[in-house]
Amino acid sequence: MVHARTTPFAMPLPKALEHVDRFFGLDTILTDEGCDILRPYYQQSEPGYKRVHSEKGCMHMALNPDGVYSADGYFTQIRTVADHIRQVQAKRVLELGSGMGFNTIALAPDHPDVQFTGLDLMAHHVNSAGKDARHLPNARFQLGSYADIPTDLHGADVVFAVETLCYATDLDAVARQIAAAMAPGGRFIMYDGFRRADFHQAPPDVQTAARLFEVTTAVTGGFHSVEACEAALARAGLVVLRRDDLSDQSIAGLRYLHHRSARFFRSWKYRLLKHVLPVYLLRNAVAGLVGPYMIEGAGPNSGDTQAAITYSVLMAEKPH
């Protein structure tokens, strides 16, 4: 684990759980486990993603390989996708769960001969992405689900998904949809959080931190394991090329959000917001506060105890 250049935790994990319990009730939050809260979560969270989370339109975690938080980390996933676009000389790229369009809008200008399409379930995300992509002739955004990818989007040379397949309820069905959408020789890249295979051996409060993060980001079924995703892709006929655990690279960004969230929990002024703002929006502060513990363990230093979640990338290919 990266130790040296990250800031310390704002507080020990038991204290963080105490704050969350006092403000929201741990059990109250966890009663949403297994419930479908995706739409109200993203509807209510729009101002949070637009004004608090990070770069304009970005809805994913920063990956900073040097362990120091910087906004450049939000482009790490994009650079990898760009490598694959070049490797297969892609003409058509499909982004699943494209959110407010950050990734596709960053990629399109550098690849003017490539046609990009972003597919997302939420109309307000699609509209926001479409507005921000007005100036890009080779990028468009479409409403729809990766559980039922429209056939006119099939034939993509690169399909990618950043922090969205965690919401898939039927991995096999989605993997088949992805395989069907890919051209032979095409690449698939997914970045996401994953439950570690030994999730249940992590200390109970680290597991609780992970479950709180999952529920407060609407991943109410829990993150998938990387093994389950690989197996589903293989059953759909794709060849898994590699898997990389990038948890270390996610620490700086997670700690950045953790410190901002800690300020929220400590300040009585922010606590007044409870009476004004919608609950799923506010609960993003829980995800921010507990995020590092699920990836690093219960501290005081990274790796002192077992963690529960990894942040990983999976890459696969559709055989010719």
Is residue 60 close enough to count as binding ligand SAM by CB under 6 A? yes
Q: Where are the alpha helices (DSSP H) in 143-239?
A: 171-181, 204-216, 226-235
| Single residue of 145, 225, 305, 306 touching ligand SAM by CB under 6 A | 145
- CA atoms of 20 and 179, how far apart (whole Å): 41
Is residue 146 close enough to count as binding ligand SAM by CB under 6 A? yes
Amino acid at 237: G
Is residue 160 close enough to count as binding ligand SAM by CB under 6 A? no
Sign of CA dihedral 300, 69, 191, 143: positive
Question: Which position's Cβ is nearest ligand SAM?
Answer: 99
Is residue 71 close enough to count as binding ligand SAM by CB under 6 A? no
| Single residue of 44, 64, 98, 117 touching ligand SAM by CB under 6 A | 98
- CA atoms of 139 and 103, how far apart (whole Å): 11
Query: What's phi and psi for 211, nearest 5 deg?
Result: -65, -35
Is residue 122 close enough to count as binding ligand SAM by CB under 6 A? yes
Q: Closest Cα partner for 96 from 172, 175, 193, 170?
A: 175
| Single residue of 2, 10, 13, 59 touching ligand SAM by CB under 6 A | 59
Is residue 125 close enough to count as binding ligand SAM by CB under 6 A? yes
Is residue 78 close enough to count as binding ligand SAM by CB under 6 A? no
Tally the residues of the chain.
320
Least distance to ligand SAM from the beta carbon of 99, Å? 3
List contacts with ligand SAM (CB under 6 A). 38, 42, 58-60, 96-99, 102-103, 119-122, 125, 145-147, 162-164, 167
